[in-house]
């Protein structure tokens, strides 16, 4: 075989090796895939949602806060979506930017370019971080963690734009879309059935209405449902996950004594996704108990 023939064989071998390594890499499940497997098929395991990201150490709703939530092992990160005057989708919790940035005024009074001149604050101090767009946040989380979108814009048309962006980025399976009014579920579901809608149930009448629609397998509840343990248990056995919060007193007590989390689960027996301001503490507690995803 001459030299040119050897070169052809070497190139072919390299191409085959590269294709094999690429296929192997593509076959490896992402972190999101692993979380979804638990979410969909292991209802006994409890998942942790980080409220506004790891905001105790970084500005809330910042890309750095998202990274912190992932670092400590959270399975879901909650992000707040609002709309600027010129229609950009941005990550801000409050109606105004007063508390979380160096600026003043309502988010929807700002053009996006002007909003980008502001800096995010943390514990009242200016930082070098800026307000991310929803697109930036989604791309930053892709294949890394589930996203709970707390939609705070006012128009249904804006919700449709959010849905379209999620689909465009190929992230439909990765998103929970929180709804304050469960009656909006059918027309949102029509936009993209692959996006999981998480409605809030304020009482048993709401819960029954949600179940009747049969459009979701995750429902946000609170401790007012304590007396409905049997009904919740029956629904849990049918594959429904219940989301509840430990924000406030439970998280504060847990910082001193993790028994606070045990008390929470003793009371909220059927909850299997928990939103917290202390994601690292809750993940560590659940890992010790052996009731969460181990990575």
Q: For position 285, what pLDDT does the model report?
A: 96
For 183-239, what is each residue's pLDDT tens digit?
999 999 999 999 999 999 999 999 999 999 999 999 999 999 999 999 999 999 999
User: Beta strands of 26-167 (E only): which ranges?
Assistant: 47-50, 76-83, 89-91, 121-122, 125-126, 146-151
Q: Which residue among 55, 93, 140, 220 is the active-site one?
A: 93
93 noted as active-site residue: yes
Residue 23 scores a pLDDT above 50: no
* Distance separating alpha carbons of residues 89 and 133, to the nearest angstrom: 6
> Are 146 and 39 contacting, i.e. CB atoms less than 8 angstroms apart?
yes
55 noted as active-site residue: no
What mean pLDDT, rounded, does the chain reach? Answer: 92
* Distance separating alpha carbons of residues 198 and 248, to the nearest angstrom: 22
Q: Strand pairing partners for 146?
A: 76
* Distance separating alpha carbons of residues 207 and 84, to the nearest angstrom: 33
* Distance separating alpha carbons of residues 121 and 130, to the nearest angstrom: 9
The CA-based angle 221-213-175, given to 5 degrees, is 60
The full set of domains in the chain, from first to last, is 30-289 (3.20.20.190)
For 58-96, what is each residue's pLDDT tens digit?
999 999 999 999 999 999 999 999 999 999 999 999 999
Residue 159 scores a pLDDT above 90: yes
> pTM score, two decimals?
0.90
Residue 3 scores a pLDDT above 60: no
Q: Which of 40-44, 88-92, 168-172 has the lowest mean pLDDT?
A: 40-44
H or E element: which one contains 275? strand 271-276
Q: Strand pairing partners for 89?
A: 83
């Amino acid at each position: 075989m001459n030299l040119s023939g050897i070169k052809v064989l070497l190139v072919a071998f390299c191409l085959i090796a590269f294709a094999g390594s690429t296929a192997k890499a593509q076959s490896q499940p992402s972190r999101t895939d692993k979380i979804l497997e638990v979410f969909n098929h292991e209802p006994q395991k409890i998942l942790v949602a980080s409220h506004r990201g790891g905001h105790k150490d970084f500005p809330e709703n910042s890309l750095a806060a998202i990274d912190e939530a992932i670092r400590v092992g959270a399975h879901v990160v909650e992000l707040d979506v609002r709309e600027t005057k010129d229609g950009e989708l941005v990550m801000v919790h409050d109606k105004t930017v007063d508390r979380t940035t160096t600026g003043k005024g309502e988010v929807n009074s700002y053009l996006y370019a002007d909003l980008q001149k502001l800096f995010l604050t943390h514990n009242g101090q200016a930082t070098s971080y800026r307000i991310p767009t929803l697109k930036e946040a989604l791309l930053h989380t892709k294949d890394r963690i589930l996203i709970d979108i707390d939609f705070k814009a006012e128009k249904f048309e804006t919700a449709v734009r959010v849905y379209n962006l999620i689909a465009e980025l190929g992230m439909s399976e990765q998103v929970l879309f929180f709804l304050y009014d469960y009656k909006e579920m059918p027309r949102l579901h029509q936009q993209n059935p692959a996006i999981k809608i998480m409605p809030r149930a304020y009482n048993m009448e709401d819960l029954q209405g949600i179940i009747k629609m049969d459009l979701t397998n995750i429902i946000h509840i609170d401790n007012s449902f304590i007396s409905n343990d049997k009904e919740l248990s029956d629904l849990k056995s049918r594959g429904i996950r219940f989301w509840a919060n430990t924000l406030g007193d439970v998280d504060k007590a847990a910082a001193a004594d993790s028994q606070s989390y045990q008390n929470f689960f003793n009371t909220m027996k059927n909850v299997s996704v928990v939103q917290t301001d202390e994601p690292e503490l809750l993940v560590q507690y659940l890992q010790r108990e052996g009731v969460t995803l181990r990575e």
